[in-house]
Amino acid sequence: MSEISLSLDPVPPPKPPPVKKKRRKKSPATKEATRKAERRALIGSILFGSVVVHLIALFLFGLWTVAKHFTRPEARFEMKKVVRIPPKTPEHNLNVARHEAMAPKPVFHDKLISTRPVDFALPDLPRVDLDQMLPLDPSELISDQVDNLVGSAALGSGLGDGLRGGGGTGTGMDFFGVRAEGQRILLLFDVSASVVNKANKAGIPLERIQEETIRLIETLPIVSRFSLIQFTGNYMPFTEELIAATAGNKELAMRWVADKWVTSGTMSSASKSVVSNLTGVVGVLERAAAMRPDVVFLISDASFQWRPEGGFKNIPYDKIKEAVEALGEGPGGKVPLHFVAFEPKDNDAKEWARIVRGTGGEFRTLASGEEEKN
């Protein structure tokens, strides 16, 4: 029976295996939302921490302010002694004067004086170039006295000019047959290829121009100032300003004319002492005006071009006239411009003669085998 009962007991069924839950993959939108939530939580925690730190700092600052108020030292008043020097009384001034009067006076002793010169008595006198000394003109003295007595606005001015006789001051000069007067002389030479060719054709080669220039420099009086400028498009000045016509300066100028004269018809701005210039003779005249001459000689063929925008063009005569008139804007007023032209074209000669006459200058044309004066 027991065996039968045992066999009849029901056997419990085996437990089923646990079912594994499958994890669902999060979608990209869910991941983005999660990241945003984490970012907001991080920012919120940072802001909260910052507010807490500021509140703690503010609380500590308030405690420090209150503690400082209670620990402030008591006010103390101090008076510093001011030292003042009393003004001098009349008695003090009298005592000082009396004391100074009691001081011994310096004693002067006779010095030994030699009655005959010795080697070290006087330094050697400087050597003076007597050729540079101007002869005394009695008419100058007379005119100056008359000007002082009568006045420059009346008889004195006219009488002085009459007695002087025009060239009495020693400032007259002659250059290629052009007579001029002035004490601040500036020579402008157009050394372009066309001018050199026309000068040779007129029977006046480069050597003749150099000789005339050197002769003019030699005859300048010591009271005058001068300079020279060579130009094609660019230009090369002898000096930055007008210089005194001393013997040394004349020698330098004549050496410059002999050694630095441009014979190629061109002048590169890369060369030493050459100034780049895009406005042709207008730029040269502007440079001349800055040197403040009172007489200007211009040697050229009266045909000028410029390249302000890159291409060569003839310079409008209204621009040339403005540049010439600017020569007379200095303290001396109108500046005569004397023009020596080598075989100019008829239209150029007409325009330049009109411009030159407006300055009180002379326009002279040098043609082949002859000289004409306009």
DSSP string, 8-75: HSPPPPPPPPPPPPPPPPPPHHHHHHHHHHHHHHHHHHHHHHHHHHHHHHHHHHHHHHHHHHHTPPPP
Query: Within this chain, do residues 152 and 247 fall inside the same structural domain, yes or no?
Result: no
Residue 251 has pLDDT above 60, yes or no: yes
Same domain? 319 vs 175 = yes
CB 291, CB 242: distance < 8 Å: yes
Q: Which of 113, 146, 168 is the last residue of a domain?
A: 168
Burial of 243 (0-12, 13-18, 19+ CB in 10 A): middle
Structure token pair of residue 226: 């001068």
CATH of the domain at 335: 3.40.50.410
Q: Quick one: 273 and 359 in the same domain?
A: yes
Report residue 334: phi and psi, to 5°: -65, 135
Residue 14 lies in a domain: no
pLDDT confidence band for 356 (50 / 70 / 90): very high
Asked if residue 125 belongs to a domain, the reply is: no
Q: Based on the domain organization, do 254 and 313 belong to the same domain?
A: yes
Specify whether 249 is located in the same domain as 362.
Answer: yes
Half-sphere exposure of 330 (CA within 13 A, CB side): 16
- Of 61-70, 118-127, 130-139, 299-308, which gets the smallest average pLDDT? 130-139
Residue 182 shares a structural domain with residue 290: yes
Residue 287 lies in a domain: yes
Q: Are both 217 and 319 inside the same structural domain?
A: yes
**How many structural domains are present in the chain?**
2
Q: Map residue 147 onto helix, strand or coil.
A: helix
pLDDT category at 143 given cuts 50, 70, 90 is very low
Burial 175-187 (b: 16+ CB within 10 A, else e): bbebebebbbbbb
> What proportion of the chain, given as a percentage, has pLDDT over 70?
69
d(CA 232, CA 277): 9
**Residue 11's pLDDT band (cuts 50, 70, 90):** low
Measuring CA to CA, which residue among 224, 225, 229 is closest to residue 213? 229
Tens of pLDDT, residues 52-65: 999 999 999 888 88
* Residue in the block written with tokens 């040779």: 200
- Do 306 and 266 form a contact (C-beta atoms < 8 A)? no
Check whether residue 345 and residue 212 sit in a common domain. Answer: yes
Cα–Cα dist 302/318, whole Å: 14
- Contact of 162 with 202, CB cutoff 8 Å: no
What does the pLDDT average to over 200-224?
A: 87
Q: CB burial class (10 A; 0-12, 13-18, 19+) of residue 4?
A: exposed
Same-domain pairing of 163 and 225: no
Which residues form the domain of 148? 134-168
pLDDT digits (tens, 9 = 90+) for 269-283: 778 889 988 888 999
Beta-carbon contacts of 122 under 8 Å, excluding residues fewer than 6 positions away, are: none
Within a domain: 262: yes
Does 229 lie in the same domain as 164? no
Cα within 13 Å of Cα(360), Cβ side: 12
Give the DSSP letter of residue 243. E
The last residue of one of the domains, among 147, 168, 189, is 168
One-letter-per-residue 3-state SS of 251-298? HHHHHHHHHCCCCCCCCCCCCCCCECCCCCHHHHHHHHHHCCCCEEEE
Burial of residue 241 (number of CB atoms within 10 Å: 0-12, 13-18, 19+)? exposed
Domain presence at residue 57? no
Question: If DSSP codes are grouped into helix, strand and coil, which group holds residue 343?
Answer: coil
The count of other CB atoms within 10 Å of the CB of residue 8 is 7
Do 244 and 254 fall within a single domain?
A: yes
* Boundary of a domain, candidates 168, 185, 211: 168
Give dist(CA 71, CA 245) in Å, integer. 87
Residue 10 is assigned to a structural domain of this protein: no
Query: How much is the average pLDDT of 102-119?
Result: 62
Give the pair of three-digit tokens for residue 199.
């000068």
Give CA–CA dist 269/263, Å, rounded: 16
Residues 151 and 291 placed together within one structural domain of the fold: no
Q: Is 36 a member of any domain?
A: no
pLDDT digits (tens, 9 = 90+) for 231-245: 988 999 999 999 999
